[in-house]
A and B are shown apart, each in its own frame.
Chain A
Amino acid sequence: MTVAIVHLGAGNTASVQFALERLGAEAVITADPAVIADAERLVLPGVGAAGYAMARMADLGLTDIIKGFERPLIGLCLGQQLLFETSEENGGATMLGFIPGEVRRLDVGPDRPVPHMGWTKLEGLKDDPILEGVSPGAYAYFVHSFVCPDTDATIACADYGTEVPAMVRTGNRWGCQFHPERSARAGARILQNFLSLSI
């Protein structure tokens, strides 16, 4: 099983690689279009801001390859946000558009700090192979200041004063707003499920 982790710049790519290696997968961090096109699994990790990540993707000639990838793909943190149409981050960005809607700044009132940083329960788990063996109420580690819109694609959510879509799915593409590579047992299970998907 070869997993390509798309390298768009400094970010949490190594920790994702190490988590996949702990599960026995061969994971490479790469920006090579040929390697990405041939991979059995694709990971879009969270790097910088939405506009920056999309610009890097275009500069590296990866946008169409990622859009056309037919095997399982997962976006992590910002990577989940990139699956949506647009983001209001840094004055606006057009993204991959697999799921309709705009990613917006977290608006949670004065009682909760932003970024949403820490361990929050996963709730409202849908019946999806990537969530197999994950219990409702399992904690996952979140770090984000922007939040995806709640759509039909939401398969798990988290409560942070507002409904946070914690995981999404559309066809062969999944997203995690939290960091599965840093979410202890539940995160490892989700990554294991991602490696085991048969579609």
Chain B
Amino acid sequence: MTARRIIPCLDVKDGRVVKGVRFEGHTDMGDAAELAARYRDEGADELVFYDITASPEGRTLDYGWVRSIARLLDIPFCVAGGIRTVDQAAACLDNGADKVSINSPALERPELITEMADRLGSQCVVVGVDSRREDGEYVVHKYTGDPNARRLAGRRTLDWLVEAQALGAGEIVLNCIDQDGVRAGYDTAQLSEARSRLTIPLIASGGAGAVSHFLDVFDRANVSGALAASVFHTGAIRIPDLKASLAASGVEMRS
């Protein structure tokens, strides 16, 4: 079978890892390359690097930096932040990234997903979705890296997930904003609903605060992987301990 993936997410700003609560009030968590090497050695199954200021500032990420990370890692990694053309996505892959994740640009121009899938293959096209419950419905937000630029995207989350999959996405990262950075657990209800609508892999994001939260999201939402940031960066949860605990509970983990 296939192991469930534990995926540290590194929100990067100027080569440093930052983390805020509900996307605001960022604090410095260390050098991105150093943290990446540490997570690699500790058994992370994949890493996500998200240049959180690229999209709101209208730029793309630094390909030289992607290259330096690619040299360092012998596990897969995904990059995100300001990728709005197929050429930019191709450049990320050419510099050693395994996947690219697009969020706001896909909402603005959904055909981008198809263009990327046609040229680069669906397997490297990840669509990130920031979702929050409003008036009893899950709705999509965009530009969540910058609280000032953030706004509703005018779409229902579940509709958008199905559309993104149909357009050629190879994987979805569903980031539940209500849960982000508050460590109260993944939104297993929303993730479970998303899982039932998709045939491509789904990754849970937002809310990890305890080992039991990971167990819950794998058991209840049947996601392929769980992404988390602050609990790993602060050392609140150590990856080897987490994987050992999940394996003991019957969740398949890469050893």
Which candidate, A66-74, A125-133, A148-156, A177-185, is the interface stretch facing chain B?
A177-185
Question: Is B197 close to A, CB under 8 A?
Answer: no
In whole angstroms, how far apart are the Cα atoms of A141 and B73 in the complex? Answer: 13
- Distance in Å: Cβ of B223 to nearest Cβ of chain A: 10
Query: Which of A6-14, A31-39, A91-99, A168-176 forms contacts with chain B?
Result: A6-14
Interface pair A10/B200, CB less than 8 Å apart: no
Q: How near does chain B come to A156, taking the closest CB pair, in angstroms?
A: 16
The distance in angstroms between the C-alpha atoms of A9 and B93, with both chains bound, is 10
Decide: A14 and B95 in contact? CB cutoff 8 A: yes
Binary interface encoding of chain B residues 98-142 relative to chain A, with 1 for a CB under 8 A from any of its CBs, else 0? 100000000000000000000111111000000000000000000
The count of chain A contact residues (Cβ–Cβ below 8 Å) is 42
- Whether the Cβ atoms of A120 and B3 lie closer than 8 Å is yes
Give the distance to chain B from A74, nearest Cβ to Cβ, in Å. 17
Q: Which residues of A contact B249 (CB under 8 A)?
A: none
Q: Which residues of A contact B95 (CB under 8 A)?
A: 14
Q: Tell me how many residue pairs across A and B have CB atoms closer than 8 Å.
A: 108
A90 to B, closest residue via Cβ: B118
Contact of A143 among B73, B97, B123, B198 (CB under 8 A): B123
Asked if B20 is an interface residue, CB under 8 A from chain A, the answer is: no
The answer, yes or no, to whether B96 is at the interface (CB within 8 Å) is yes
B80 contacts A by Cβ under 8 Å: no
Does A113 sit at the interface, judged by CB under 8 A?
yes
Residues in B with CB closer than 8 Å to A113 are 198-202, 224
In the complex, chain A residues whose CB is within 8 Å of the CB of B251: none
CB contacts (< 8 Å) of A22 on chain B: these are 71, 74
Residue numbers in A under 8 Å from B119 (CB-CB): 9-10, 48
Q: Select from chain A the residue with minimum beta-carbon distance to B172.
A: A113
Listed residue (B121, B224, B254) with the most chain A CB atoms within 10 angstroms of its CB:
B121
- CB neighbors of B among A72-101 (8 A): 78
B-side interface residues, number (CB < 8 Å): 38
B93 touches A182 (CB 8 A): no
Task: State whether A119 touches B67 (Cβ < 8 A).
Answer: no
In Å, the complex CA distance between A160 and B224 comes to 13
Looking at B2, B67, B120, B200, the one whose CB has the most chain A CB atoms below 10 A away is: B2
Residues of chain A with a CB closer than 8 A to B3's CB: 118-120, 139
- Other-chain residue from B96, B170, B254 in contact with A14 (beta carbon distance below 8 A): B96
Known A141-B76, A179-B76; judge A118-B225 contact (CB<8 A): yes
Chain A CB within 8 A of B94 CB: yes
A60 CB–B CB distance under 8 Å: no
B2, A145: Cβ atoms closer than 8 Å = no
Query: Which partner residue on chain B sits nearest A161 by CB separation?
Result: B1
16 CB contacts below 8 A, A to B, read: A11-B94, A14-B93, A18-B70, A110-B199, A113-B202, A114-B199, A115-B170, A118-B3, A118-B4, A119-B3, A120-B1, A121-B1, A141-B75, A145-B122, A145-B123, A182-B75
Chain B CB within 8 A of A117 CB: yes
Is B234 part of the contact surface with A, judged by Cβ < 8 Å? Answer: no
Collect the chain B residues with CB atoms within 8 Å of residue A182's CB.
Answer: 73-76, 98
Question: Is the C-beta of B187 less than 8 angstroms from some C-beta in chain A?
Answer: no
CB distance from B198 to the nearest CB of A (A): 7
In the assembled complex, the CB of B201 is this many whole angstroms from the nearest CB of chain A, namely 4
Does B98 contact A118, Cβ atoms closer than 8 Å?
no
Q: How far is the CA of A195 from the CA of B3 in the complex (A)?
A: 29
Q: Does B148 contact A (CB under 8 A)?
A: no
Q: Check A48/B200 contact, CB under 8 A, given A22-B74, A139-B254, A182-B98.
A: no
Q: Is the CB of A18 within 8 A of B96?
A: yes
Closest to B86 in A: A10
A188 in the interface, Cβ–Cβ < 8 Å?
A: yes
Q: Across the interface, which residues of A come within 8 angstroms of B98, CB to CB?
A: 12, 15, 143, 179, 182
**Does any Cβ of A come within 8 Å of B33's Cβ?**
no
Q: Is A19 an interface residue (CB 8 A)?
A: yes
Bound CA–CA A14/B3 (angstroms):
26
Q: Is the CB of A115 within 8 A of B122?
A: yes
How far is it, in angstroms, between the C-alpha of A145 and the C-alpha of B170 when the chains are bound? Answer: 9
Contacts A113-B198, A115-B200, A119-B5 hold; do A12 and B93 have CB atoms under 8 A apart? yes
